[in-house]
Structure 1
Amino acid sequence: MCADRAGRLWRIAEMCARCAAATPDCRVLDTAASPPAPVPDAAGTRHRAEGEPAASAPAGTTALFSDPAAFSAGEAAPDAGSASVPAARTATSATAPRRPKRWGKIAQRIVPYDLQPDVLRLELIELGDAFRAYQSNPEPDQTLLADLHDRKARAFSSWADVTGNASLRHEAKRAAGAAQATRDMHANRLGLPAGDPDGPAVERLLTRNHAAHARTVLAYVQAHAPHHEPDVHLLVLLLTLRAARDGTGNITGQDITGWLPDGAEQALEQLVAAGWLRLPGSTAEALASRPEDFTTFTVPNLLPEQPRPFPFGKTTRAKISGWAQKAVGDRKFRKKKLSAATRLLALYTAAHTQSGGRLGHPDDDGLALAEVAAFCAMAPEEVAEHAALLADADWLTDAGTADGRLRGQLTERVLPLGGPL
């Protein structure tokens, strides 16, 4: 007998003991015991065993069952107390407690616990864990990172298909772009030594994107240097790279004399007199400054209120600045005391190479002498002389200037400094 939710209406139903136990608010009025096993006689008919008492109905209640095979007509139900009945379960205990589903987070998004299909939900959770594990690695692995971005692109695309969320599809496209960018960065850092296609890979200081920004700075220096002299061009280049972000930077006397062993003071005075550079004191004080007491300089044309000529950030700026200082401060240049014009030529050739170290674009035959000479602040006919000095310093091989073109190849020693076109 069971009641409705308001407890007003009762109904009597015949059911098995298991169903009764699983029904909330159910009260058992009577219980039928299992019938005794019939004993077949020789003729094959069924009857009660000899001496077996007939079942009698308990006082006050009689239950009739619809199964004619269990009881013959007129037989009463067995005693309710002769069989054990499981206790009725409440609604809360009817279902066993479920184990909570595993949850996760990826790209600042919580993966829904009810996301279907379940294989997609697990992939997103595992992918988020994989990204966090990668971030804790002491050394970067760009191949692994590109694979993770590929997995993220596929997973977010499927997630967008399931939910119809446009932002998830946008995130999938971003992940695909990040995977390609990571592979390009890895490829740009690796190259083969000149003339040896089976040689070991070379890790480059500049990626293809960094090299493009470096060439932007070189063009800016050529266009905005206040005097057309090699010392001035070189000093403008290195100071521009230090002040590229906000128009200010720090230098020491050792920096300046390292860049320009001869003529540093005159070049500084020319820049200050032209208004291109501002110093807090005299040029002599700037040349005497030490690392613990550096000089802070200002380039007015690069201050934030002026139009920004460079689109790169601080990390790229530091990369390009380090590359330029490493190139102009090459140990063989210092040993041979090469001039600013030769160092500018070395820097220009390093910034305009193919992946294998050849000068110029693959479709071009070297570099135009007029453009090279304009950056280095020299006459086109002087380029051949300085190219020979670079060959002697193990910077270039096969250098030549025929037909108005500078041809050559970076040596294996300096191939990591090459900025691929």
Structure 2
Amino acid sequence: MAVEAGTRQEERVVGRVWTVRLDPDGRPSVGAVRLSCSRPACADQRFPGGAAVGRKAAIGHVKEHLARIREGGGPRGDAWCACRAAGCAWHTPGSAAGRPGGAPPAAGAVRCEGPAVLTVYADRAGRLWRIAETCARCAAATPDCRVLTTAPPSARTEQMETVQAPQKPDVEEGPAGGRGRDGLAAAFSDHHGSSPAAGASSCATASPAPVPRARATRPVAASRRAKRSGKIAQRIVPRDLEPEVLRLELIELGDAFRAYQQRTEPDLTVLATLHDRKARAFDLWADASGDDSLRHEARRAEKAAQTTLEMHANRTGQPLGDGPVVERLLTRSQAASARTVLDYVAAHSPHPEAEVRLAVLMLTLRSARAGIGNVTGQDLTGWLQGDAEQVVERLVASDWLRLPGTVAELMASRPEDPVAITVPALLPEQSRPFAFGKTTRARISGWAQKVVGDRKIRKKKATAAGRLLALYTAAHTRPDGRLGHADDDGLRLDQLAVFCALPPEQIAEQAGLLIAAGWLAEADTAGDRLRGQLAERALPLGGLL
């Protein structure tokens, strides 16, 4: 009788996940946002103050969950990877969405390794935060994911109970060899005798032939599988590279880059993710090997990821992440041309006053192509209100502007009968400061008209300096609406002061007026920089850096 061997092992639980989302609440023009959490006990919250207030609340909510997790002992060492439970869709594009019915990935397609860790993820758009218990491998492969703490090893034990079955006798008598039921020995056809009697006699006196047992075989140790080799960025991944997780990540990255090159259609989000993973993997490789060239390659990958994200933002008009697509008025190249015009006006305005500079900017955009453009009195009064006639007279007196008639006739002109003005510095016989075509000129002129004529800014009775500040901030934004390049930490106050014809200490006052008008979501002038972000309603007018 044989007793089957049993194995008792503690069951592992699926890793916990907390997801905090920030979504628009109601009409986009209202600016309200709703904060929701995947934990049933957390009620939804509404913030009418806009996305900036909602993000602060969401970050605070995430910190509260992290504090409770730490009080409860932190991540659990016996937890399954939560990313694996989701089909590793958090770091494998199309891994879950591409399978009908949410089928699990094929065997061997996903390999989780390493201890359980507690991670926090925040998307680039600032609309999704996720706390999860995952394995170390998935945490390293997930972009924008940060490991907070590692779980201690679990105390699981395995007990094996094995009872061997009683051995069978070496010799077994039966019909095939030995004595049958009648006591006679079995005769085999390959036994040849001189006569049947002799054969019978020899069989009767012979002892039964033993039946040999099957030959016992020793368990042969399975040969170790040869380590998988790979190549990435014209470099061979060493077979002895440690840790093993890093070696496998480099090999899979090389395969992923080669697979991407075989795609029929580009996907910039996938490519940016690959470059980001490559940068982090090469940094770890450089730490493990001490090769500085690997760190240089990591910096190149970081720049490639940033460039790819900028290309994606230029094509779609929004940063990566959740939320509706922002239909921007200017493309990235048109925004660069707009900044060229702003710099030209700051350097070539005949008078330093803000009203004159605003008029010079708008008239330059009207006549940028050939030095001639159409303007009406309604345009001028819309830009400058009561100062329009005086500003035009000063421009004519300085010979920056030429009119076919008088200033009074220009101010009395109507849209059906505009006046053709001439800007001598922009005539074809002069050096051409701008290289853009008529389509770009019309688009930039329309963009400036929308910013200067913004209804809410007009209601706040913004001065010409305030409108110049609105133009400058709109022309210098990132895809997420932040002001200035990421490396610059905002816009320099001295440059803003020169363009807006204001003392640097008055920039904060004008920025506060733009916040009140709903043009800026936030602004900070600490130090020598203006840091802030465009409000959501102003994002379509943002000129991407």
When the two structures are superposed, what TM-score results if normalisation uses the length of structure 1? 0.55
- Residue 362 of structure 1: CA displacement? 1.0
- Please state whether the residue corresponding to 1:402 is helix, strand or coil: coil
Residue number in structure 1 paired with 2:394: 270
Q: Could you list the structure 1 runs, at least 4 aligned residues long, displaced by more than 6 angstroms after superposition.
A: 183-186
Question: Which residue of 383, 389, 392 corresponds with 1:259?
Answer: 383
User: Structure 1, residues 274-320: CA drift from partner, whole Å, max 9, x if none?
Assistant: 11000111111101101122111000000000000001000110111
Q: 1:187 to 1:359 in 2, by over 3 A?
A: closer
Q: 1:256 to 1:331 in 2, by over 3 A?
A: same
- Please state whether the residue corresponding to 1:409 is helix, strand or coil: strand
Q: 1:244 to 1:147 in 2, by over 3 A?
A: farther
Contact 2:460 2:513 (8 Å CA) reproduced: no
- Please state whether the residue corresponding to 1:378 is helix, strand or coil: coil
Larger of the two Rg values belongs to structure: 1
Residue number in structure 1 paired with 2:316: 190
- Residue 376 of structure 1: CA displacement? 0.7
User: Structure 1, residues 301-345: CA drift from partner, whole Å, max 9, x if none?
Assistant: 000000000010001101111101011110112222211110000
Contact 1:189 1:206 (8 Å CA) reproduced: no
2:446 maps to 1:322: yes
- Residue 187 of structure 1: CA displacement? 3.7
**How far apart, CA to CA, are the structure 2 residues paired with 1:337 and 1:416?**
23
Contact 1:189 1:203 (8 Å CA) reproduced: no
Residue number in structure 1 paired with 2:251: none
The number of residue pairs the alignment matches comes to 242
- Please state whether the residue corresponding to 1:238 is helix, strand or coil: helix
Residue number in structure 1 paired with 2:348: 224
**How far apart, CA to CA, are the structure 1 residues paired with 2:417 and 2:334?**
31
User: Structure 1, residues 327-373: CA drift from partner, whole Å, max 9, x if none?
Assistant: 11101122222111100000000000111000010111100000011
**How far apart, CA to CA, are the structure 1 residues paired with 2:265 and 2:372?**
40
CA RMSD of the aligned region, Å?
2.2
Contact 1:234 1:340 (8 Å CA) reproduced: yes
Within a 5 Å distance, the mapping from 1:234-253 to structure 2 comes to 234-253=358-377
Letter in 2 for 1:396: L
- Please state whether the residue corresponding to 1:399 is helix, strand or coil: strand
2:472 maps to 1:344: no
Contact 2:491 2:529 (8 Å CA) reproduced: yes
Residue number in structure 2 paired with 1:291: 415
**How far apart, CA to CA, are the structure 2 residues paired with 1:185 and 1:264?**
41
- Please state whether the residue corresponding to 1:261 is helix, strand or coil: helix
Contact 1:231 1:341 (8 Å CA) reproduced: yes
**How far apart, CA to CA, are the structure 1 residues paired with 2:529 and 2:537?**
24
**How far apart, CA to CA, are the structure 2 residues paired with 1:355 and 1:186?**
10
2:484 maps to 1:360: yes
Letter in 1 for 2:314: N
Question: Which residue of 496, 500, 503 corresponds with 1:372?
Answer: 496
**How far apart, CA to CA, are the structure 1 residues paired with 2:479 and 2:467?**
22
- Residue 184 of structure 1: CA displacement? 7.6
Contact 1:189 1:202 (8 Å CA) reproduced: no
**How far apart, CA to CA, are the structure 2 residues paired with 1:302 and 1:383?**
31
- Please state whether the residue corresponding to 1:312 is helix, strand or coil: coil
Percentage of identical aligned residues:
68
The range that moved more, 261-270 or 219-228, is 261-270
Contact 1:207 1:419 (8 Å CA) reproduced: yes
Residue number in structure 2 paired with 1:279: 403
- Please state whether the residue corresponding to 1:250 is helix, strand or coil: strand
- Please state whether the residue corresponding to 1:246 is helix, strand or coil: coil
- Please state whether the residue corresponding to 2:532 is helix, strand or coil: strand
Q: Which has the higher helix share?
A: 1
Q: 1:189 to 1:262 in 2, by over 3 A?
A: farther
Higher RCO (C-alpha under 8 Å, 6+ residues apart): 1
When the two structures are superposed, what TM-score results if normalisation uses the length of structure 2? 0.43
Contact 1:373 1:379 (8 Å CA) reproduced: yes
**How far apart, CA to CA, are the structure 1 residues paired with 2:345 and 2:314?**
25
User: Structure 1, residues 166-187: CA drift from partner, whole Å, max 9, x if none?
Assistant: xxxxxxxxxxxxxxxxx98774
Q: 1:397 to 1:278 in 2, by over 3 A?
A: same
**How far apart, CA to CA, are the structure 1 residues paired with 2:381 and 2:495?**
27
**How far apart, CA to CA, are the structure 2 residues paired with 1:349 and 1:262?**
25
